[in-house]
Amino acid sequence: MKNKILSLILFLSAFTQGFSQSFVFPAIQEYGGVIEVPFEVEKPDPTKKYKLVVELGNKLKSKEEVGEDLDYAARMYNLHVYAGVPAENIELALVIFSGSTPLVLSNKEYQKRFGLPNPNAALLEEFQRNGVQVIVCGQSMMKQNLVPEMIYPGVRLAASRFTATTDLTQKGYQVIVL
């Protein structure tokens, strides 16, 4: 029995050595890592425009780390670039609401509320560099006693999550559910 288990371990080890699982960051650096897939055959059409909107409303699991959903959205962008879609053919909009609103607090406000600078700041900067729209729900801001000065610079302010998302869908964006 020991020999069979050892053989299986050696086989699996040899098999997996052929597949590297290191992350690459084809557009948004240091966030949304993509694992290279050497055997891919199904790819998006690089000549098409991809207009995507993602709503992020989950409560943050950790105030000390980059928001998981925000990092996942970065991964979605990186995956399209990795698959061969030119960045100029990707329009990604993130609509932040409810429990995700702290993701887009200014460093000063984040520090005031949670005792540390906003860990999402560098990713928000990467989104801006890559043309990703980040929009925050005004209804959520009002419920959380936030004013525009408390929001990270460059984040767009909407009347609501619903109006932002429905406006984007009217402009041809597809809603992606995380």
In order, the DSSP letters of 129-161 are HTT-EEEEEHHHHHHTT--GGGBPTT-EEES-H
- Residues 27-72 have pLDDT tens digits of 999 999 999 998 989 999 999 999 999 999 999 999 999 999 999 9
Assigned domain for 35 exists = no
Assigned domain for 7 exists = no
Assigned domain for 10 exists = no
Q: CA separation (Å) from 119 to 33, 130, 172?
A: 17, 19, 32
Domain enclosing residue 106, as ranges: 48-176
Q: Give this prediction's pTM.
A: 0.88
Assigned domain for 63 exists = yes
Assigned domain for 105 exists = yes
> What's the structural domain count of the chain?
1
Residue 18 contacts residue 38 (beta carbons within 8 Å)? no
Assigned domain for 72 exists = yes
**Secondary structure E strands in 43-141:** 50-56, 90-96, 133-137
Burial of 32 per CB tally in 10 Å (0-12, 13-18, 19+)? buried
Query: CATH code at 131?
Result: 3.40.1260.10
- Residues 74-125 have pLDDT tens digits of 999 999 999 999 999 999 999 999 999 999 999 999 999 999 999 999 999 9
CA angle 116, 126, 122 (to 5 degrees): 15
Assigned domain for 38 exists = no
Q: Closest Cα to residue 19, out of 33, 4, 40, 5?
A: 40
Assigned domain for 11 exists = no
